Amino acid sequence: MDNYNPQEIEAKWQKRWEEAKLFESESAPERKKYYVLEMLPYPSGDIHMGHVRNYTLGDALARYKWMLGYNVLHPIGWDAFGLPAENAAIKHQRHPSEFTFSFIDRMRGQLKRLGFSYDWRREIATCKPEYYRWNQWFFLRMYERGLAYRKKSRVNWCPQCETVLANEQVVNGSCWRHEDTPVIERELEQWFLKITAYAERLLEDMKELVRWPERVLAMQQNWIGKSKGTFVDFTLEGSGEPIRVFTTRVDTIFGCSALLLAPEHPLVEKLITRSSSPAELRAAVERVKASAVRARVEVNLEKQGVFTGFNALNPYSGKNVPVWVANFVLVEYGAGAVMAVPAHDQRDFEFCSAYGLPIPQVIVPRNNEPVDITQGAFVEYGRLVNSGAFSGLTSEEAIDRMTEEAERKGFGQGTVQYRIRDWGISRQRYWGTPIPIIYCEKCGVAPVPESDLPVLLPTNVKFTGRGPSPLSEVAEFVNTRCPKCQGPARRETDTMDTFVDSSWYFYRYTDPKIATVPVNRSEVQYWFPVDQYIGGIEHAILHLIYMRFFTKVMQDIGLVDFPEPVVRLFPQGMVIKDGAKMSKSKGNVVDPTQMCARYGADTVRLYMLFAAPAEKDLDWSDAGIEGASRFLNRVYRLVQRHANRLRAVKSRAGDAIDSGGVSSLTSAERRLLRKTHQTLRHITEDIEGRWHFNTDVAMTMELVNELTDLEPAAEAGEIRPEVHKKSLEYLVLMLSLFTPHLADELWEALGHSEPTLKVQWPQYNPELAAEEEIELPVQVNGKLRARIKVAAGLNEEEIRHLAQRDEKVAAHLNGKQVVRVIVVPQKLVSIVVK
RNA sequence: GCGAAAGUGGCGGAAUUGGCAGACGCGCCAGACUUAGGAUCUGGUCCCGCAAGGGGUGGGGGUUCGAGUCCCCCCUUUCGCACCA
């Protein structure tokens, strides 16, 4: 018998699968479909273990659904635009597309070496004009609808990337790609997508996402950050100009002791001009502003502010409060100004304490317990005091009534505010989708006509890594004609954030070559929604919220007729080594390709599934993969030992043995079939539900142990060949989800000609899976005293007697009074004595 | 600081609804085969104890016949958010 040779087996089956076009699927309205989607990789050079884990999970699911008879769509592609290729271009003075396409070729080979069941005909690369022209198309549609707009804005700038970062790409004040590079702020004219217009729908439609993990929804909810409150207009003393503040606690407004403006608030400049000592005030405001900028990067910076010298009138109390500029007030949220209520807001408390402003209490606890507001703010709801006509109301009542009054008298209104900001997509980079906009001196901003798409990236570009965007230095690109007046004009030279690419790529897979529209409606109709999406938790907010946003826009422009693209989401854990994320700098990277060369793809895949539950982090262990390899060797030898003998035997499928003629089985056969069907039951139920593939693998190991233990019985004729073969076949079919090459090899050895993917997933037989004799533990006063063996169907009364008659149990009952006997069917017996 | 998740042998992890804690694998120990073993096979392996027995799921309390699982308090770790008014 030959030894298990994964290299040979895997090459053989990959070739056959490809020749048989095994993983290619077409829409077929009469067939039930299943769309398995995995997050597409960035072509960074090599597949890493995180990808392998992600794709191994998807592959097991896809294979399972195939065997159940579904028409399965299982595609892959490349998230091919992005900074690393451009940075490499700067370093090596070669074009980013060279790196990108050679990396794609290399990584495609690595994925193929792993034998994943992709329909490679559907492969896409987002950096190809055939793809990115549709990014431009989407941009134009959004522009028409006012969803794409330009504004001058303060942006996060990463000095390392030399580009703008979206808010969500800033992690703890640093660039998400460069942990040690703090972002700085810059003012730039930028393109934005109006995701805020969809805030409510993004929130509302979460109700449909019942198969998404709670924590992802919680993160998104937090990110959208809806809060209900009231706008209140204070009046600037002297000029009478209104100053609007936003508050969620209008009930506390009688306790307001100052009005605080963000340093960037437009009124600040006016107040400086009108000030009696403008120079001094300007300098002070600049200091506050500087500390505010720092505070956005650092944490817990001290609250600072400066009094402007002006007062404003509180429309409820009729009292004047001083107007300050404060470093912790955000200009872009709410109204850019807040009322400071130190007794009932902790931040205001800290601020007012620092500057000696009064701290009047206007809320008392409902139960009238005293609170000490000299130590900190009382922030809970309660009952109003010292609040004029509103005194005595509860906070809830007061918020409603006071908001009503503001609306009636015209100095404010109820409002809903969101934390989410519009999505800035401009990047001062080359390797991305050009934004299809032309600037004409006469006509202003003009969108590129749809018939002129795509706006192609020029190829003759210098990558210096310095100065403005590379595109702005390519005259042939920049200089163009205005689509309206045909006069000379300039092109937009910024490119799009690559999150645009990944917001709709999964639609393109359904018909990746269609040249007339971004997505083929009838194909989408058939394949959507995505039944299962698998990927890293790190995309919980960014990618997964942009993707939802895009689908809603697509719904509005009539491309699709549903609001949510993904039914089920599974975020898998990271692959780590020695407790840390794998990274080149730490030198703890394990290369999947090397592991394939050493152990074979099946071993790598099995280990990925076995080492940890799929949603948890997986700590790579060299000893662990050895174990997986050893197991597959055992399986190979086990099946091959019997293959010759059993090849011609017809396994008993669907006949008396399977359909419940349990009494016709020998006890060894029963034992074997029980384990077989228990394993099948476990795996079937687990894939449909929990996704603890580690326990599925463990169960197949137990089955292999059982098959090994029963070999003497098989040799002695206590297990008929057709039963033995049946069990081995089921083992192979179950393993085919995890280790498909080995499974197909063994399936062939057992005398079959078709690949396991074409075989129907077996159904477990509950009667065969059931235990006939159960070992019941017996507890006396909560302590385990004995185990009794009883027939599975025995009634409670008989069990009760058997338990008490047991020798060891009786010894503990001796001389005591039995108070209670609890029989839990199938589980245990608990006897309480006094 | 706020929010979420988690804490089980030497290690990765099982225990799906409150019911035999430690499945399965790694490691380790002993043995078999062997010129050899980083191959393979067999047996053992939570702790204390010769045993009977006792203890044990981060710590402390509680509910229950019975708690890894439920409740309260505390500790630790990871992740997310971090002046959002």
The answer to whether the beta carbons of residues A215 and A182 sit under 8 Å apart is no
pLDDT given at position A172 = 65
pLDDT given at position A177 = 65
pLDDT in tens, A476-508: 999 999 999 999 999 999 999 999 999 999 999
Find the Å distance, CA of residue A297 to C1' of nucleotide B45: 53
The answer to whether the beta carbons of residues A771 and A792 sit under 8 Å apart is yes
Point out the nucleotide closest to A418 (alpha carbon to C1′). Answer: B84
Find the Å distance, CA of residue A596 to C1' of nucleotide B57: 37
Q: Is the CB of A685 under 7 A from strand B?
A: yes
pLDDT given at position A295 = 65
Nucleotides on strand B lying under 7 Å from protein C-beta: 3-5, 11-16, 19-21, 23-27, 39-42, 53-55, 65-67, 79-85
Pairing of strands A320-326, A258-261: parallel
Three-state DSSP state, A456: coil
A643-664 b/e (C-beta count within 10 Å ≥ 16 → b): beebeebebbeeeebbeeebee
Find the Å distance, CA of residue A787 to C1' of nucleotide B29: 29
pLDDT given at position A130 = 97
A76-104 b/e (C-beta count within 10 Å ≥ 16 → b): bbbbbbbbbbbbbbbeeeebbbebbbebb
Q: How far is CA A505 from CA A37, A77, A509, A536, in A?
A: 11, 9, 7, 17
Sign of CA dihedral A450, A451, A456, A458: negative
Is residue A129's pLDDT more than 60? yes
Euclidean distance between CA atoms A533 and A569, whole angstroms: 5
**Which band of pLDDT confidence, cut at 50, 70 and 90, is reported for residue A584?**
confident
Q: For A659-765, where are the alpha helices, taking DSSP H only?
A: 667-688, 693-709, 711-715, 721-735, 740-749
Find the Å distance, CA of residue A86 to C1' of nucleotide B45: 56
Q: What is the mean pLDDT of residues A814-834?
A: 81
DSSP letter at A175? E
**Which band of pLDDT confidence, cut at 50, 70 and 90, is reported for residue A660?**
low
Euclidean distance between CA atoms A224 and A206, whole angstroms: 12
Q: What is the mean pLDDT of residues A338-343?
A: 95
pLDDT in tens, A601-643: 999 999 999 999 999 999 898 889 999 999 999 999 999 999 9
Q: Is the CB of A827 under 7 A from strand B?
A: yes
Q: Which of residues 161-180 of A touch strand B (CB under 7 A)?
A: 168, 171-172
The 10 Å Cβ neighbour count of residue A824 is 11
pLDDT given at position A654 = 45
Euclidean distance between CA atoms A158 and A518, whole angstroms: 32
Find the Å distance, CA of residue A800 to C1' of nucleotide B2: 53
Find the Å distance, CA of residue A599 to C1' of nucleotide B16: 33
Q: Is the CB of A295 under 7 A from strand B?
A: yes
Percent helix / strand / coil, chain A, rounded to 5:
40, 20, 35
pLDDT given at position A144 = 96
Is residue A193's pLDDT more than 70? yes
Q: Tokens standing for A297?
A: 């990067």
Q: What is the mean pLDDT of residues A312-334?
A: 94
pLDDT in tens, A677-715: 999 999 999 999 889 999 999 999 999 999 999 999 998
Q: Tokens standing for A110?
A: 């690595």
pLDDT given at position A232 = 97
pLDDT given at position A656 = 52
Element containing residue A74 per DSSP (H, E): none
Euclidean distance between CA atoms A195 and A598, whole angstroms: 48
Give every CB contact of residue A326 below 8 A, 6+ residues apart in sequence: A260, A261, A262, A263, A288, A303, A304, A305, A340, A351
Three-state DSSP state, A445: strand
Q: Is the CB of A631 under 7 A from strand B?
A: yes
| DSSP string covering A532-587 | EEEEEGGGTTHHHHHHHHHHHHHHHTTS-S-S-SEEEEEEEPPEEETTEE--TTTT
Euclidean distance between CA atoms A174 and A168, whole angstroms: 11
pLDDT given at position A241 = 94
The answer to whether the beta carbons of residues A662 and A768 sit under 8 Å apart is yes
pLDDT in tens, A382-439: 999 999 999 999 999 999 999 999 999 999 999 999 999 899 899 888 999 999 999 9
**Which band of pLDDT confidence, cut at 50, 70 and 90, is reported for residue A296?**
low
Rounded to the nearest 10 degrees, what angle do helices A693-709 and A622-646 cross at?
50
**Which band of pLDDT confidence, cut at 50, 70 and 90, is reported for residue A829?**
confident
Q: Is the CB of A334 under 7 A from strand B?
A: yes
% residues pLDDT > 90 (chain A)? 68
Q: What is the mean pLDDT of residues A651-680?
A: 78
The answer to whether the beta carbons of residues A755 and A16 sit under 8 Å apart is yes
For residues A84 and A136, which has the higher predicted lDDT (pLDDT)? A136
Q: What is the mean pLDDT of residues A640-655?
A: 80
pLDDT given at position A162 = 73
Q: Is the CB of A419 under 7 A from strand B?
A: yes
**Which band of pLDDT confidence, cut at 50, 70 and 90, is reported for residue A258?**
very high
Find the Å distance, CA of residue A345 to C1' of nucleotide B17: 44
Nearest to A635 by CA among A600, A611, A669, A608: A600
ipTM for the predicted complex comes to 0.94
pLDDT given at position A122 = 98
Q: Please state, rounded to an integer, the average pLDDT across all residues of chain A.
A: 90
A157-166, A460-469, A539-548: the lowest-pLDDT one: A157-166
Q: Which of residues 300-329 of A touch strand B (CB under 7 A)?
A: 300-301, 303, 327-329
A178-192, A232-246, A491-505, A555-569: the lowest-pLDDT one: A178-192
**Which band of pLDDT confidence, cut at 50, 70 and 90, is reported for residue A797?**
confident
A168-182, A283-297, A689-703: the lowest-pLDDT one: A168-182
Side chain identity, residue A226: K
Helices and strands counted in chain A (H then E): 26, 34
pLDDT given at position A685 = 94
For residues A177 and A746, which has the higher predicted lDDT (pLDDT)? A746
Q: Is the CB of A563 under 7 A from strand B?
A: no
Spell out the long-range contacts of A555-558 with Cβ–Cβ below 8 A and sequence spacing 24 or more. Answer: A556/A145, A557/A141, A557/A145
Three-state DSSP state, A189: strand
The answer to whether the beta carbons of residues A315 and A308 sit under 8 Å apart is no
User: Angle A660-A662-A668 (CA atoms, 0-180°, nearest 5)?
Assistant: 135
Pairing of strands A618-620, A575-577: parallel
| DSSP string covering A498-519 | TTTGGGTHHHHTTSTT-SSSSS
Rounded to the nearest 10 degrees, what angle do helices A96-113 and A592-599 cross at?
30
**Which band of pLDDT confidence, cut at 50, 70 and 90, is reported for residue A784?**
confident
C-alpha dihedral, A826 to A832 to A833 to A834, nearest 10°: 180
Is residue A297's pLDDT more than 90? no
pLDDT given at position A357 = 95
pLDDT in tens, A21-69: 999 999 999 999 999 999 999 999 999 999 999 999 999 999 999 999 9
pLDDT given at position A57 = 96
Euclidean distance between CA atoms A41 and A124, whole angstroms: 11
Three-state DSSP state, A308: strand
Q: Is the CB of A345 under 7 A from strand B?
A: yes
φ, ψ (nearest 5 deg) of residue A233: -95, 110
Find the Å distance, CA of residue A724 to C1' of nucleotide B6: 43
Q: What is the mean pLDDT of residues A640-664?
A: 74
Q: What is the mean pLDDT of residues A713-735?
A: 93
| DSSP string covering A629-665 | HHHHHHHHHHHHHHHHHHTTSPP--SSTTTTT-GGGS
Element containing residue A188 per DSSP (H, E): strand A184-193
Q: Tokens standing for A64?
A: 């399972």
- Find and give the residue nearest to B85, measured CA to C1': A247
pLDDT in tens, A342-357: 999 989 999 999 999 9
- Find and give the residue nearest to B65, measured CA to C1': A832
pLDDT given at position A64 = 98
DSSP letter at A762? P
Give every CB contact of residue A138 below 8 A, 6+ residues apart in sequence: A500, A504, A518, A550, A553
Query: A570 pairs with which residues across the strands?
Result: A534
pLDDT in tens, A541-562: 889 999 999 999 999 999 999 9
